[in-house]
């Protein structure tokens, strides 16, 4: 989304203009609509229809000719898109699209239900996007490690309780987040491992009398295996989604920590880091402002992902057996979290790239932080317990403090 | 949203077709997009612009002619709408719209910021919709009380722990929910009382050098009073929203209890109530199904409202002072909860109207539930403690149970 | 809780020792147990027993002598306490205590159930503690306003987006939170108004055949009125609790904002405020550390209150009609939030008292923040739109920035 | 906890008394206190102390004699326990215990901080308990599969939308939950895989000057490997806990579904299943009541686990870098969820064992559910699309319904 040129309310003091993708990430859905939820499932629904039709043909339920006609219609759908307007969901819309083009469209719903269809569409969506997260987070980790290597010796205070603690380095600090994101990558991979199972053929949860072959559709769709219990395959809708969004929450929580820390350490009066201007915005009132919107948006999105997670864990909690329509609202929770958060890894990598540490100020803050090291050395040199050594150093600090205050007055 | 006639996947066994507003309520945003969030604020932003312009003119910052031109442009905006496309938010879009029509458009941003504007727009939106909830819930209460009066003597078991407990009536049972919704009405009214305060003029949180008159804009916009501290007026964004959504959560929780109870008591094998068919849907696979989608949707929306509440309480938690862009994401949480839940009271009233109790089955279930009354009577007649009387009745029940089992074998 | 003197792991560099109540607030329940939940209800259960016994006597169900014996036994219970060990809940324990002392103890359960008892006990607890919050928050507001008056002219930058925005004052900044806490006071008062209703006499939700007089017990217990529907009186357990904890969340959210802001603005490298040492702790390793544990604990408790709120809104969501034992878990959510958060207002007031602003550093940060004022003045002087004036100032800032950078190289 | 015999308020009509462990599970912490949180860490803290002392000795920081004295003191601590009273946490209490017994106690804190200690204690606790969940859930799955095998042919309706859908079997239904719990087992195993990393030696997050050997302590404590970045090892407190509690949420959600379904299907008026009496309780007022408290408690605990999860995901969200004391409150969220939920698998297995299906009623409900099968057969026989066949069957159902209604009048 680009702001109309002649009505830009801020930015006169910027040397670099904010990037379009950053503005888009920060804009949320204030000025643009959020697409119909089933539109996210459309490509996967077409894929599922094709695999199902091929299987039905292999099982003698569709003729070869009917299959050809259906595949042609599906290809047309892929190219032209399928309008959801006036339909209950993507499954009805696609079936209608097919039926308009070939009488075989009316036979494709044999041996399946919308329950196993939506479960399969969603599973494919999640698998696909989990793989993207793995890739995007890996790229972010790569960037963090490259910048960490460059700054292996750039002094930076280590903090605890929001207080400078001991001398550390900017490189090690960045590496800490690289390690955290590595667990997030592993978590997405574990998700794929756990949910690489195809629900197609479970129908409404109780199978079918049609002689279908779930193992074949599972294979065609690239799943490791088909479901093993029909009811389990459809009645836990929301479970895989919750587990997936939990992975997003993990990654967003780590990102939000980077956001919070850079936000604070770049504050006027502190200025340990200079943030890239193309990730900031200005004010409609205050000419001098450079606002770290990207960081704020990242924090807000971590909060949004958390709320989505809650809605999803709630979806299977205390649920009566079988498919319940309540579970339909898992879609908005899932897609909102995914769509709002997916640009994070790429943007964060570029952001990190553009951050400029203020070496002098960072080093100056590290200077007085050698108290622990002094105590450790004292303990080792004198062979006394660390506790005693620390007490000795504390006494010295207190005396120095008293002296300083004395001088002031 | 109406299903295309020639592709209806279910419904052949229904004598009444589902109502369009019920289908819409149950459809969520699967097949339609969710409007740009700022579009919900547009009418209120125009109102705020008008009040601000009038005040600026009264203070000598705008001329009478400039005011006339602005009011004409605002009227045009009201009629034609204002496109948000290509803008950061509704405020920029409206300002651009005005500036295109009159040079005075460029002066209207004097003595205000987008921070106080969005706070004021949102406050007006919330006040307006709180009043609608009060009205709609009052109508629902009215319906509950009318049906309760009709069924004052219709026997229905009182339940505890999901077990029939003592004889009760359908009328008293409905009245219990009427009482609960009355508290929800009061809660919305308390919200209005607490937040009937106008933030306009607080600017970015620190006031302005323009000689504006916040008391005047507050009055023009129908608020009880203007803000008393500029910073407080804008930095708590999310607080009023959270308090408002908490009111929605209250009402939805009560509605979800009606939903859950009717759902269970109308189950095949139980059938104490027959649900109105125009609130049900069918299955794409099972011809005999009549699904209480309205009740399921209501339960799901209670869960959605709860997740929105969490996102909103989270928005002000641990927030650094001043406006933070994180707070922008309060919009989606607010509007999603409002839009999904607002039809509930009207639909629930109509639903209640259409429910048909099965008097015979309800009465039959009440029959064996006189044990407490027997114990109470025994206690009063013999002047013994209730505990002893109850033990005596329990002994009788156990003996009867043993006898029955004995007969069986 | 006082740390054993000879094993204090930190604090050698402190001139003031942390206060015992601060340490206790920050310690949570790491080293002490959390009391049996029903112990919080004990005093209220005794009160309810007394009112119920008096009413039973007035209704002729207990004799005057039985009443006297029961009152004597209740007085004994008040003095000695009642052990909960080996009982299901406080109600059984108290009844057992009474029955051991007088045969009338066995008759006191006439015309009541544990369902209305626990609802009444809890309601009394909540009303009592809501009044304490009102009082404690009022004291905090008083302190904020006194300190605000002292610092009416102490310069402090106004912040937005974590960036210094315009010159503001420490006094106005404190006042912003005073205003926020005033709404919290009002919210607790509204809670009392909404829930000043006595559930006693509703029994298990369906009344009783005993000729009890709920209006009399309501009055004896100080409630504004008795319940109007028996079922409503007991089946919404969790609702009043959720509404109450929402009030706590409101206050804790405001407190957590003070905490976060003081935390950041007192960081080494920033040091705009010096925090009172008696609210800080030290490190077992780093001799120079002074950690703002009080502020961190306050932030954590805001998060805990939020989680409790979720558990409580969840307790009535989708609940089947009537009392359900699920609702028993509302106690832990309620009491944890209450016990952890109740010391906040008093401690925060003392904390604010002890904070020392660094006037020089605060003033220095305000200096460059006159850009908005310059633009506003330019607009007023030249009679040009604010937007144009702002663009002119932005141009000047950019030129100055370029020049400064030029000089550096 | 056993109810005092002479004050049992209910149960006279029961042939089997509730089991003590069931009563305990259902009692929560109403009548007993929740132990000091650090007491859960004590055994692990002793283990960590021993490993650390051995490593210090191996590195020449402690003498062999000092090590022997420390090990003797640790053994004494294991036998006698260590009182937490008067200490900040378990680490201070243990160190004090050691120091009282040997001067070497004062040297054991060399090369470590309470930050890496608590992280390591917690990691050991979690690993240990994750393994227990794996074992207990496996036993539950075993029971579900055995009962499923017994009831492979016991008719039971398959449900969707709370409506009977198609004929299914009790065996397959139980198997559906066995499959769900299998994923929970896998999830706990994946947790172990992801978090089998030892934080000891990371100290306050920035390492130490003492020549310690983290790889050696990691091995001694049974971890797969030591941390790779000191800061990451301690600053993500709450992450492993959240991931662990998410595993509990998964299992509790599945259990809560069993609970909800058995609750509803055993209701008076339905009675498809008879629940084991030793898992039920009675009423203090209604002599005939048999309440499924175990099922209600399970549902409530699923809700409690969800609230704990929220508190834990919140603990790392938007956190400033480094250890923050906020993270201390992760303990209560973790231990409450663990302690309340851990008995579930064993109790649920025994519960399943005791459930008696009412074969006749179940079969009777299945009878009218052959509509889908009829449509599928019609489609296959006539070679017409399933949609058409379904419409034909729907027509027949509607006619039958009209006819039946006609007869009634």
Q: What is the per-residue pLDDT across C241-269, written as a single tens digit (0 to 9) for each? A: 999 999 999 999 999 999 999 999 999 99
Average pLDDT, integer, range A147-162: 97
Nearest C-alpha of chain C: how many angstroms from D140?
Answer: 23
Beta strands A273-274 and A356-357 are antiparallel
Of C284 and D59, the structure prediction assigns the larger pLDDT to: D59
Nearest C-alpha of chain B: how many angstroms from C387?
Answer: 7
Q: Is residue B375 part of a domain?
A: yes
Beta strands B197-198 and A163-169 are unpaired
Cross-chain residue pair C7–D204, CB shorter than 8 Å: no
**Span C150-169, pLDDT tens digits:** 999 999 999 999 999 999 99
Which has the closest alpha carbon to A202: A216, A194, A214, A219?
A214
Q: What is the pLDDT of residue D115?
A: 94
Tell me the Cα Rg of chain A.
28
Average pLDDT, integer, range A312-331: 96
Q: Do D391 and D334 share a structural domain? A: no
Q: What is the ipTM of this complex?
A: 0.93
Alpha-carbon distance values, B81 to B85, B367, B392 (Å) = 12, 63, 75
Q: Do C282 and C138 share a structural domain? A: yes
Average pLDDT, integer, range A265-283: 93
Nearest CA in chain D to A177: D232
Is D261 in the C-facing interface, judged by CB distances under 8 Å? no
Nearest C-alpha of chain B: how many angstroms from D385?
Answer: 12
Q: Do B328 and B277 share a structural domain? A: yes
Residue at token pair 């004395």: A406
Q: Do A133 and A50 share a structural domain? A: no
Q: Is residue A2 part of a domain?
A: no
Which run of H or E residues covers position B259? helix B239-265
Nearest C-alpha of chain C: how many angstroms from A163?
Answer: 6
CA separation for the pair A311, A249 (Å, rounded): 13
CA distance between the termini of chain A: 58
Angle between helices A386-408 and A371-382 (to 10 degrees): 130
Report whether B277 contacts B293 (CB < 8 A).
Answer: no
Is C115 in the B-facing interface, judged by CB distances under 8 Å? yes
Domain count of the fold of chain B: 3
Q: Is residue A12 part of a domain?
A: no
- Is residue B4's pLDDT more than 60? no
CA separation for the pair B330, B245 (Å, rounded): 11
Cross-chain residue pair B12–D293, CB shorter than 8 Å: no
Q: Residue B238 gets which letter from DSSP?
A: T
Is B70 in the C-facing interface, judged by CB distances under 8 Å? no
Average pLDDT, integer, range A135-154: 98
Nearest CA in chain B to C181: B232
Of C298 and A401, the structure prediction assigns the larger pLDDT to: C298
Paired strand residues for D169 = D155
**Span D336-381, pLDDT tens digits:** 999 999 999 999 999 999 999 999 999 999 988 887 788 888 888 8
CA distance between the termini of chain D: 59
CA separation for the pair B159, B260 (Å, rounded): 13
Q: What is the pLDDT of residue C12?
A: 65
Of D372 and B408, the structure prediction assigns the larger pLDDT to: D372
Boundary residue ending a domain (A89, A107, A125): A107
Alpha-carbon distance values, D109 to A250, C288, D50, D229, D232 (Å) = 33, 18, 12, 21, 21
**Range in A208-217, C175-184, D386-395 with the lowest mean pLDDT:** D386-395
Among partner residues D110, D168, D260, which is closest to A206 by beta-carbon distance?
Answer: D168
Mapping DSSP onto H, E and C, the string for chain D reads: CCCCHHHCCCCCCCCCCCCHHHHHHHHCCCCCCECCHHHHCHHHHHHHHHHHHHHHHHCCCCCHHHHHHHHHHHHHHHHHCCCCCCCCCHHHHHHHHHHHHCHHHHHCCCCCCHHHHHHHHHHHHHHHHHHHHHHHHHHHHHHHHHHHHHCCCCEEEEEECCEEEEEEEHHHHHHHHHHHHHHHHHHHHHHHHHHCEECCCCCCCCCCCCCCCHHHHHHHCCCCEECCCHHHHHHCCCHHHHHHHHHHHHHHHHHHHHHHHHHHHCCCCCCCEECCHHHCECCCCCCCCCECHHHHHHHHHHHHHHHHHHHHHHHHCCCCCCCCHHHHHHHHHHHHHHHHHCCHHHHHHHHHHHCEECHHHHHHHHHHHCHHHHHHHHHHHHCCCHHHHHHHHHHHHHHHHHHHHHHHC
- Is residue C389's pLDDT more than 90? no
CATH number (domain holding residue B75): 1.10.275.10
Q: What is the pLDDT of residue B406?
A: 52
Measured from the Cβ of residue C20, the count of other Cβ atoms closer than 10 Å reads: 12
Which run of H or E residues covers position C391? helix C386-408
Residue at token pair 């292999």: A58
Query: Which parts of A81-169 fold into alpha helices (H)?
Result: 90-101, 114-150
Boundary residue ending a domain (C107, C140, C163): C107
User: Given pLDDT bands bounded at 50, 70 and 90, which one contains residue A383?
Assistant: confident
Is D378 in the B-facing interface, judged by CB distances under 8 Å? no
Q: Do A267 and A390 share a structural domain? A: no
Q: Is residue A332 part of a domain?
A: yes
Among partner residues A14, A365, A371, which is closest to C269 by beta-carbon distance?
Answer: A365
Measured from the Cβ of residue D60, the count of other Cβ atoms closer than 10 Å reads: 8
Is B373 in the C-facing interface, judged by CB distances under 8 Å? yes
Q: What is the pLDDT of residue C405?
A: 56
Which run of H or E residues covers position C197? strand C197-198
Q: Do C346 and C278 share a structural domain? A: yes
Q: Is residue C133 part of a domain?
A: yes
Is C109 in the D-facing interface, judged by CB distances under 8 Å? yes
Q: Do C53 and C150 share a structural domain? A: no
Q: Do A206 and A84 share a structural domain? A: no
Alpha-carbon distance values, B137 to B251, B355, C232, C246 (Å) = 8, 19, 17, 22
**Span B32-76, pLDDT tens digits:** 999 999 999 999 999 999 999 999 999 999 999 999 999 999 999
Cross-chain residue pair D288–B162, CB shorter than 8 Å: no
CATH number (domain holding residue B319): 1.20.200.10
Q: Token digits for D61?
A: 């920081």
Report whether C75 contacts C64 (CB < 8 A).
Answer: no
Report whether D83 contacts C31 (CB < 8 A).
Answer: no
Mean pLDDT over the full length of chain A: 92
Backbone angles phi, psi at C345, to 5 degrees: -60, -45
Of D286 and A215, the structure prediction assigns the larger pLDDT to: A215
Report whether B367 contacts B360 (CB < 8 A).
Answer: no
**Span C214-237, pLDDT tens digits:** 999 999 999 999 999 999 999 999
Sequence-distant (≥ 6) Cβ neighbours of residue D5 within 8 angstroms: none
Sequence-distant (≥ 6) Cβ neighbours of residue D12 within 8 angstroms: B390, B391, B393, B394, B395, B397, B398, D282, D287
CA separation for the pair A394, A372 (Å, rounded): 10
Distance from the Cα of residue C268 to its chain's centroid: 30
**Span B315-347, pLDDT tens digits:** 999 999 999 999 999 999 999 999 999 999 999
Nearest C-alpha of chain A: how many angstroms from B65?
Answer: 23
Report whether A90 contacts A121 (CB < 8 A).
Answer: yes
Q: Is residue D92 part of a domain?
A: yes
Among partner residues D288, D293, D375, which is closest to B287 by beta-carbon distance?
Answer: D375
3-class SS at B224? coil
A 3-42 → C contacts, CB under 8 A: 9, 11-15
Cross-chain residue pair B300–A85, CB shorter than 8 Å: no
CA separation for the pair C243, C334 (Å, rounded): 11
Residue D293 domain boundaries: 20-24+114-210+223-364
Which has the closest alpha carbon to A218: A244, A193, A196, A191?
A196
User: Given pLDDT bands bounded at 50, 70 and 90, which one contains residue D5?
Assistant: very low
Q: Do A120 and A103 share a structural domain? A: no
User: Given pLDDT bands bounded at 50, 70 and 90, which one contains residue D404?
Assistant: low
Q: Do A338 and A259 share a structural domain? A: yes
- Is residue D6's pLDDT more than 60? no
**Range in A371-385, B67-81, B117-131, D105-119 with the lowest mean pLDDT:** A371-385
Beta strands B225-226 and B197-198 are parallel
Report whether B119 contacts B234 (CB < 8 A).
Answer: yes
User: Given pLDDT bands bounded at 50, 70 and 90, which one contains residue A9?
Assistant: low
Four-CA torsion A392, A393, A398, A403, nearest 10 degrees: 110
User: Given pLDDT bands bounded at 50, 70 and 90, which one contains residue D2?
Assistant: very low
Q: Token digits for A195?
A: 């949910």
Sequence-distant (≥ 6) Cβ neighbours of residue A403 within 8 angstroms: none
Average pLDDT, integer, range C303-331: 97
**Span A169-205, pLDDT tens digits:** 999 999 999 999 999 999 999 999 999 999 999 999 9
Q: Do B374 and B335 share a structural domain? A: no
**Span D231-283, pLDDT tens digits:** 999 999 999 999 999 999 999 999 999 999 999 999 999 999 999 999 998 87
Q: What is the pLDDT of residue C381?
A: 85
Of B396 and A129, the structure prediction assigns the larger pLDDT to: A129
Q: Residue C291 gets which letter from DSSP?
A: B
Boundary residue ending a domain (B107, B130, B162): B107
Q: What is the pLDDT of residue A405?
A: 56
Q: Is residue A314 part of a domain?
A: yes
Q: What is the pLDDT of residue D4?
A: 42
Average pLDDT, integer, range D16-22: 86
Which run of H or E residues covers position A103? none
Q: Do D293 and D180 share a structural domain? A: yes
User: Given pLDDT bands bounded at 50, 70 and 90, which one contains residue A5?
Assistant: very low
Q: What is the pLDDT of residue D8?
A: 55
Q: Is residue B61 part of a domain?
A: yes
**Span A34-51, pLDDT tens digits:** 999 999 999 999 999 999
**Span B132-181, pLDDT tens digits:** 999 999 999 999 999 999 999 999 999 999 999 999 999 999 999 999 99
Angle between helices A90-101 and A64-80 (to 10 degrees): 120
Predicted TM-score (pTM) of this structure? 0.94
Q: Token digits for A70?
A: 């259906």
């Amino acid at each position: 989304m680009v702001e109309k040129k002649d009505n830009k309310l801020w930015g006169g003091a910027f040397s670099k203009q904010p990037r379009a993708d950053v503005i888009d990430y920060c804009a949320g859905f204030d000025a643009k609509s959020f697409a119909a939820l089933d539109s996210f499932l459309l490509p996967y629904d077409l894929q599922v229809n094709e695999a199902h039709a091929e299987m039905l043909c292999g099982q003698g339920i569709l003729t070869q000719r009917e299959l050809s006609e259906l595949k042609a219609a599906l290809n047309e759908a892929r190219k032209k898109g399928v309008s959801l307007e006036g339909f209950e969901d993507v499954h009805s819309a696609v079936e209608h699209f097919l039926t308009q083009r070939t009488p075989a469209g009316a036979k494709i719903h044999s041996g399946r239900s919308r329950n196993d269809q939506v479960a399969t569409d969603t599973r494919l969506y999640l698998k696909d996007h989990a793989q993207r997260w793995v890739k995007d987070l890996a790229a972010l980790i790569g960037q963090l490690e490259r910048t960490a290597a460059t700054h292996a010796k750039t002094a930076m205070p280590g903090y605890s309780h929001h207080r400078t603690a001991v001398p550390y380095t900017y490189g090690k600090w960045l590496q800490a987040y690289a390690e955290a994101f590595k667990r997030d990558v592993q978590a997405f991979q574990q998700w794929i491992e756990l949910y690489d199972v195809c629900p197609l053929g479970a129908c409404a949860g109780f199978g079918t009398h049609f002689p279908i072959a779930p193992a074949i559709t599972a294979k065609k769709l690239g799943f490791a295996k088909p479901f093993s219990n029909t009811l389990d395959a459809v009645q836990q809708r929301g479970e895989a989604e919750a587990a997936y969004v939990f992975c997003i929450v993990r990654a967003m929580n780590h990102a939000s920590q980077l956001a919070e820390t850079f936000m604070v350490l770049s504050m006027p009066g502190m200025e340990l880091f200079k943030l890239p201007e193309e990730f900031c915005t200005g004010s409609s009132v205050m000419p001098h402002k450079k606002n770290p919107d990207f960081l704020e948006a990242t924090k807000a999105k971590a909060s949004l992902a958390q709320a989505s997670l809650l809605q999803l864990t709630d979806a299977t909690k205390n649920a009566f057996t079988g498919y319940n329509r309540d579970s339909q609202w898992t879609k908005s929770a899932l897609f909102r979290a995914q769509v709002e958060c997916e640009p994070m890894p790429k943007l964060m990598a570029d952001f990190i790239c553009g951050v400029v540490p203020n070496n002098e100020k960072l080093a100056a803050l590290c200077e007085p932080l050698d108290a622990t090291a002094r105590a450790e050395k004292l303990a080792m040199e004198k062979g006394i317990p660390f506790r005693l050594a620390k007490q000795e150093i504390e006494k010295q600090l207190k005396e120095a403090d008293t002296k300083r205050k004395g001088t002031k007055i």
